[in-house]
């Protein structure tokens, strides 16, 4: 096992101690939700384990990739003039059925929930909210909906729209187009990530 992996595992374990020191209840459910919380966790860890300072950049990168940060200033714009009909009821959320073996989102969850930790619940709720703003793919009348995801680097955009895509497939959408940038390297990386899940 490399030194970096060993220290990453130690940092994961330290997260519980950090939450306990901060009197967060329950400490085992806590994870850093903002860039400031990630910074505070890392600084506290490095004070307790000064030998890990030489890997500070790698540990920061690890925390940024491991924990999706929740943006407190997220903004959703919805057009006033829409012919939208509410449709996403609990019974249509096939991914909520723990026995479901055909759900794309359930598959995505089985492959990704451990990476995102408790942040996966936030992703689940957020993708439900966005999906509810789209139209029912089985709606008989003519309809049109557009959307766009914008966010900072490493803010969880790909995880979010991958979750949304899997729920859209579960709901009956037949065609989904992802425009993920103008550079082939980034497009190929996004395509590869999505193909692993779908």
* pLDDT given at position 145: 79
**CA distances from residue 195 to 49, 77, 144, 170, 189 in whole angstroms, order as listed:** 39, 29, 26, 16, 10
pTM: 0.62
> For the chain, which ranges sit under pLDDT 50?
none
Residue 100, C-beta contacts closer than 8 angstroms, at least 6 positions apart:
94, 106
Name the DSSP letter for residue 79.
-
Contact criterion met (CB below 8 Å) for 29 and 118: yes
Contact criterion met (CB below 8 Å) for 197 and 162: yes
* pLDDT given at position 41: 92
Torsion of CA 24, 29, 35, 41, to 10 degrees: 60
- Give the CA angle between residues 41, 44, 49 to the nearest 5°: 120
* pLDDT given at position 34: 78
| Cα 27 from Cα 7, distance rounded (Å) | 21
């Amino acid at each position: 096992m490399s030194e970096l992996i060993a220290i990453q595992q130690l940092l994961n374990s330290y997260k519980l101690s950090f939450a306990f020191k901060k009197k967060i209840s329950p400490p085992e459910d806590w994870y850093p939700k903002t860039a400031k919380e990630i910074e505070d966790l890392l600084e506290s860890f490095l004070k307790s384990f000064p030998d890990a300072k030489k890997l500070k950049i790698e540990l920061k990168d690890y925390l940024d990739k491991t924990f999706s940060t929740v943006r407190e200033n997220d903004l959703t714009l919805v057009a006033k003039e829409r012919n939208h009909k509410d449709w996403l009821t609990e019974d249509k959320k096939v991914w909520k059925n723990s026995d479901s073996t055909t759900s794309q989102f359930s598959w995505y969850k089985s492959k990704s929930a451990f990476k995102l930790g408790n942040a996966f619940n936030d992703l689940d709720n957020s993708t439900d909210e966005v999906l509810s703003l789209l139209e029912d793919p089985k709606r008989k009348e003519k309809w049109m909906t557009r959307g766009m995801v914008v966010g900072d680097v490493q803010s969880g955009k790909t995880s979010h729209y991958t979750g949304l895509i899997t729920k859209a497939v579960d709901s009956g959408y037949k065609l989904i187009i992802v425009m993920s940038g103008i550079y082939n390297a980034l497009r190929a990386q996004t395509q590869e990530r999505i193909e692993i899940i779908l």
